[in-house]
């Protein structure tokens, strides 16, 4: 929309200049200069403002996405530290995060893997992970 307003402003200025150029009297040129010039400049300024706001919104959304990723990585790093300290035998209500699912620490699908992240069930669900169908971590000892 911003580009449309900018182009329309330049078109209006061109039409005003064309009308003004066809008049020899300075007093006859003033209405073209004032109406077309002011309208064209106003539309160009409005279009530029729209372009600037669009750019700012896109940058804000990109920054929000990066902050979300950083926050997720920090929480997963904290979970990994907990996993190393506690060991995988006693999870105390924690589950292991995979790519798209979460598992019990003793699940056969995650045994022997490195870089496992230990998180809570609520955090796993908030991250969009689904429960493993093999170990069913939603049962009593994983959600305790």
Contact 104, 135 (CB under 8 A): yes
The pLDDT value recorded for residue 5 is 96
* 97 band by pLDDT with thresholds 50, 70 and 90: confident
Per residue, what are the HEC states of 110-139?
CCCCCCCEEEEHHHHHHCCCEECCCCCCCC
Fold for domain 87-144? DNA Methylphosphotriester Repair Domain (3.40.10)
Looking at the DSSP bridge assignments, the partners of residue 25 are none
Handedness of CA 90, 92, 93, 95 (dihedral sign): negative
Q: How far apart are the first and last CA of the chain?
A: 54
At 79, the pLDDT band (50, 70, 90 cuts) reads low
State yes or no: pLDDT of 89 exceeds 50: no
Residue 133, judged by CB atoms within 10 A of its CB (0-12, 13-18, 19+), counts as: exposed
Q: Which two tokens mark 107?
A: 């699940």
pTM of the model: 0.48
Residue 9 token pair: 């402003």
> What token pair was written down for 36?
């077309």
Tens digit of each residue's pLDDT (9 = 90 or more) over 11-52: 999 998 888 888 888 888 888 888 888 999 999 999 999 999
Assign 90 a pLDDT band (cuts: 50, 70, 90). very low
């Amino acid at each position: 929309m911003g580009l449309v307003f900018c182009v329309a402003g330049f078109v209006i200025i061109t039409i005003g200049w064309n009308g003004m150029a066809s008049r020899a009297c300075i007093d006859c040129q003033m209405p073209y200069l004032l109406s077309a010039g002011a309208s064209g400049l106003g539309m160009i300024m409005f279009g530029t403002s729209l372009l600037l706001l669009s750019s700012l919104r896109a940058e804000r959304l990109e920054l929000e996405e990066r902050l979300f990723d950083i926050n997720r990585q920090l929480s997963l790093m904290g979970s990994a530290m907990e996993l190393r300290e506690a060991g995988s035998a006693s999870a105390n209500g924690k589950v292991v995060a995979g790519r798209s699912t979460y598992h019990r620490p003793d699940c056969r699908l995650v045994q022997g893997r490195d870089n496992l992240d230990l998180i809570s069930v609520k955090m796993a669900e908030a991250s969009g992970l689904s429960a493993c169908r093999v170990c069913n971590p939603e049962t009593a000892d994983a959600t305790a």
